A and B are shown apart, each in its own frame.
Chain A
Amino acid sequence: MSQRLAPVTNPVTIEVDGESLTAEAGEPVAVAFVAAGRTTLSRSIKYHRPRGPFCLSGGCSQCLVRIDGVPNQFACQTPARSGMRVERQNAFPDASVDVLQATDFVFKKWFNHHEFLAGVPVVEKVMLQIARKLSGLGLLPEKPAPERPKPVIEAAGVVIVGGGAAGLAAARRLEERGVTFLLLEREPACGGRLLVGCDDGAPAIVVPKSAQVRTGATVVGVFADEGRRFLAVVQNERLHLIFPERLLLTNGGQPTLLTFPNNDLPGVFASRAVSRMIRKHRVLPGKRIAVVGEADEAKQLAKLITTSGGTPLAVGAEPVRVHGLRSVQAITVSAAGKTEKLDCDAVALCAPQSPAFELARAAGARVGWDARARLFAVEADAAGKAAAELWVAGELRGPMSAAAAAEQGLVAAEAIAAAVKGATP
């Protein structure tokens, strides 16, 4: 069972499929679900498998719900507000008991949609009609969108995307060098893994004071419509189009999914989702938490779980299979040549993050397969330069500690400062 590590100080009531759920005001809806022990947020698109939050960072699709009549909202990115109306999607009759999960049992391994009933007279037509009815996730929004203000269009010198270990270090160094910059952070506060990870020896969070730091600002794209590069940024439901002279990307990575049977069952979390819930939201997602995967990270997370009153198990073991019908009940792991099944109520997957290379690639960087880490990473020179007026630092370039990411941020900032000075007569 999950538990709150601190009492709710500012309770709000949200409505979930007509029932009430108490949440801490402003915490993500997904966290309120986990804290209340409600694991299933929706049903998956084909097999109607139960789905619960996984990454808690807007990088997967496992917590999508309908909120106040708008479909497919990330419950992990939506702060709980009083009176909010949450509906779980894609389930019949409801997300807890969904008869359509029969498809999951009928198609044991997978469903060959290319060939299933292809060309069988009459049956084929019925199949198409059923497939159409079952397709899709949410229902059309109830209402048109409210009138949005015109976008803010602005020019900027240096723009840093991502206020984690690398971005904050770079920001401080640019400030020291007297270079003006704008830092954009997607989360409500800067820190990234420093705030939600569990690295031993991670640097402290120091946000430059004089700088222009914008939190809650999501970069949704880098475009070059008329040959000039610009960022499309969404902040407070308003679009900003920012034209930077130089761009430093430090937007880190996404949790990496490990592959084993039932890896999608509610209660299986990315390791940083677990540390995030404990450190930021004071919620322990289970009593007995299997901490599997990469050994160093697992040890650090296990320590955090122990100090929070939970029991870590199978620390650093290899996950073989998760057991449970609607949520995690046990896990089979393999360690030192031995396989064992252990009861648990949550699983944390420890693995180096997969670099979030999309923005860098769209801005002109090269992306290659890192054969050692077995991830796609952004390629750059020693100073972090990846393309014309584009620098990258931190986990975008591959797995590394928070301290190493900060060091890369400093190096890139020095290079940018030199470029700015060199360009200024």
Chain B
Amino acid sequence: MSKALLCPCEDVTSSEVEHAIEKGYCDVESVKRFTGFGTGMCQGKQCLTAVARLLEDKVQPKPKPSQLMAFTPRPPLFPTELSLWASASFDPAKAPGGGVPDAIGLTEHALKPEHPVPAKAKVVIIGGGILGLSLAWNLAQRGETDVVVLEKGYLCAGASGRNGGGVRMQWGTPTLIQLARRSIELMGRFARDLGVNVWFRQGGYLFLAKSDAVVAKLERAAALHNQHGVPTQILTPDAARDVVPHLTMTGVKAAAWNPLDAVVFPWPFLWGYAHAAQKLGVKVETFTKVVGFEQRDGKVTKVITDRGDIACETVVLAAGAWSPAVASLAGVALPNEPHRHEICSTEPLKPFLGPLVSVLDSGLYFSQSMRGEIVGGMGDPKEPAGMNLGSTQRFLTRYSQALTEQLPQAGRLKILRQWSGPYDVTPDNSPILGRTPGLPNLLQLSGFVGHGFMMAPAVAERMAAWMATGESDELFERFTLSRFAEGRLEREDMIIG
């Protein structure tokens, strides 16, 4: 009974924030993610000043005023019932617009470390999301520790910190099914391997289908799953209601159910991989931006950053939806396009919802996090391509209407916050991996179309083996950038939204 509370909503004490500072999290956004402060019912109204004052007092060297930045406020300003958002209407024929801007990118300049980056490294990984960090850790595990990871923001700033944490084996192609199975296995033992809890909860995925075409897709996929050892079952609407008693089955024709699919808390994966890789000697440089490349004789020789150049042998581009912009600095055109996906979270509730539920027809998905919040989103078929992390009222309305149709009691729940993240969309919904035509030491690791988070542990494991041993792996032969020029597409159709 002697705690000094900084965030009474989430029970975050001053000792906990001091621990975060010791771990190197010295800005408001990073501390928010590491401790969870500011994510409760008041959304930071009560705690932000107290946390910023503690940072000003404890961080060494003392932060300048320009380095103390408030976190991006997430709408709504006060918890607001889904039923109210659902009462509005929207024009499904129109494309969604900009929305409330996200401050990602504003923080880079002031928080950029003053010391230069290492002058050379064997491998430079661009992008400190889950793909880059898991690759770094896997390389280090294999003895390759001369690795620098470059991240332009804070850890969790990109899509790895913005997704819903769903991990599933229910995919439409054998490759993704196998990768996902391996990832789920690795996630299940993440705490053992890396010493950090990721709140892995195998509550299953329940896909609902409302049209014959989607039923056929689920049936096709389920047959494939069974061939590959995934116990997906096709359920009648009544049987699906037994899985989640609160759901209405209006319009539902069938469901697909795999009890082995899971939900995780995304943020700790990044710290887990980053801390473990750093322990082995990997350098993780946050708030550091790549501004160009030096090339000679058909190879990348240096990565140029806003903190100096790094001479290197191999460069891995793992910047998610930001990859095309980075690749263009090397004169490489990637076909990926960023697509905004909006998402939101309600107040925390006592556990009542086991699986992640998704209506494949509309792109609605929702699950209950380990903290009790209903976290969910819904793709917008009219969303135009482009980097846009704005939040819209249109999304809240579409999502609230769709969610309350499936779970009527949710109408009285309140949205606490909404945000968005970019899907990294490729023309065939499959990733871009392996060597770049014309620049063989620039390796691609992007294009995961919203499921990079769940594929990362397995893909990184194979990529590290491929890089370290030089043994061929079909993953890095089939999913190359050259396939688009060659017209060899790898179509995946089990994409939510």
A residues adjacent to B (C-beta < 8 A): 44-47, 49, 51, 54-55, 58-62, 64, 70-72, 104-105, 108-110, 112-119, 121, 124, 128, 131-133, 135-146, 148-151, 218-227, 230, 232, 234, 237-239, 241, 254-264, 321, 325, 354, 356-359, 361-362, 364, 367-371, 374-376
Contacts and interface: CB of A to CB of B under 8 A. Distances in A.
B65 A145 contact: no
B235 to A, nearest CB: 23
B409 interface: yes
A54 B16 contact: no
Contact of A362 (B48, B85, B100, B189): B100
Contacts of A255: 46
A220 B75 contact: yes
Contacts of B15: 109-110
A357 B73 contact: yes
A257 B195 contact: no
A190 B215 CA distance: 56
Given A49-B3, A70-B412, A108-B2, 8 more contacts: A109-B2, A109-B13, A113-B197, A128-B370, A132-B351, A136-B373, A222-B75, A321-B2
Contact of A361 (B45, B73, B94, B97): B73
Contact of A257 (B49, B196, B393): B49
A112 B13 CA distance: 11
Interface string B279-305: 000000000000000000000000000
B201 interface: yes
Given A110-B19, A148-B83, A51 B8 contact: yes
B88 interface: yes
Contact of B11 (A44, A114, A148): A44
Contacts of B100: 221-224, 362
Contacts of B41: 61, 64, 72, 137
8 contacts: A60-B42, A110-B13, A116-B197, A118-B191, A139-B349, A220-B77, A239-B85, A369-B66
A133 B351 contact: yes
A135 B99 contact: no
A369 B65 contact: yes
A55 B47 CA distance: 12
Nearest to B44: A358
Nearest to B80: A220
B10 interface: yes
A221 B75 contact: yes
Closest A-B pairs by Cβ, 3 of them:
A136-B372, A145-B411, A145-B83
Nearest to A109: B15
Interface residues of B, number: 96
Interface string B322-339: 000000000000000000
B349 A140 contact: yes
Contact of B84 (A136, A148, A225): A148
Contact of A254 (B14, B16, B46, B413): B46
Contact of A49 (B11, B87, B191): B11
Contact of A135 (B5, B40, B98, B371): B371
B473 interface: no
B45 A60 contact: yes
A351 to B, nearest CB: 9
Contacts of B246: 140
B370 A234 contact: no
A128 B196 contact: no
A364 B99 CA distance: 11
Contact of A59 (B3, B46, B50): B46
A354 B48 CA distance: 9
Contacts of B199: 128, 131
A71 B14 CA distance: 28
Contacts of B372: 135-137
B96 interface: yes
Contacts, number: 289
B97 to A, nearest CB: 4
Interface in B1-54: 1-6, 8-16, 19, 40-43, 45-50, 52-54
A148 B88 CA distance: 9
B489 interface: no
Which of B81, B271, B410 is most buried by chain A, counting CB atoms within 10 A of its CB?
Answer: B81
A121 B189 CA distance: 10
Contacts of A49: 1, 3, 11
A218 B78 contact: yes
Contacts of B200: 128
B76 A325 contact: no
Nearest to A256: B49
B77 A261 contact: no
A359 B99 contact: no
Contacts of A238: 84, 87
A104 B391 CA distance: 38
Which of B3, B15, B53, B65 is most buried by chain A, counting CB atoms within 10 A of its CB?
Answer: B3
Given A110-B19, A137-B347, A259 B75 contact: no
B268 interface: yes
B181 interface: no
Contacts of B196: 114-115, 118
B87 A119 contact: no
A239 to B, nearest CB: 5
A148 B86 contact: yes
Contacts of A262: 1-4
B45 A254 contact: yes
Contact of A358 (B9, B56, B73, B85): B73
A204 B11 CA distance: 40
A144 B2 contact: no
B409 A258 contact: no
B28 to A, nearest CB: 9
A131 B371 CA distance: 9
Interface in B350-395: 350-352, 370-373, 390-394
B70 interface: yes
A143 B10 CA distance: 27
A112 B3 contact: no
Contacts of B394: 225
B81 to A, nearest CB: 6
A45 B78 contact: no
Nearest to A46: B11
A45 B11 CA distance: 7
Which of B43, B94, B97 is most buried by chain A, counting CB atoms within 10 A of its CB?
Answer: B97
Contacts of B88: 150-151, 239, 241
B404 interface: yes
Nearest to A121: B192
A343 to B, nearest CB: 18
B193 interface: yes
B410 to A, nearest CB: 8
B497 interface: no
Contacts of B104: none
Nearest to B96: A225
B345 to A, nearest CB: 12
A221 B2 CA distance: 37
A413 B208 CA distance: 54
Given A140-B246, A325-B1, A226 B45 contact: no
Contact of B4 (A45, A55, A124, A260): A260
A237 B84 contact: yes
Contacts of B70: 357, 361, 367, 369, 376
A256 to B, nearest CB: 5
B89 interface: yes
B349 A225 contact: no
Contacts of A356: 45
A54 B8 CA distance: 10
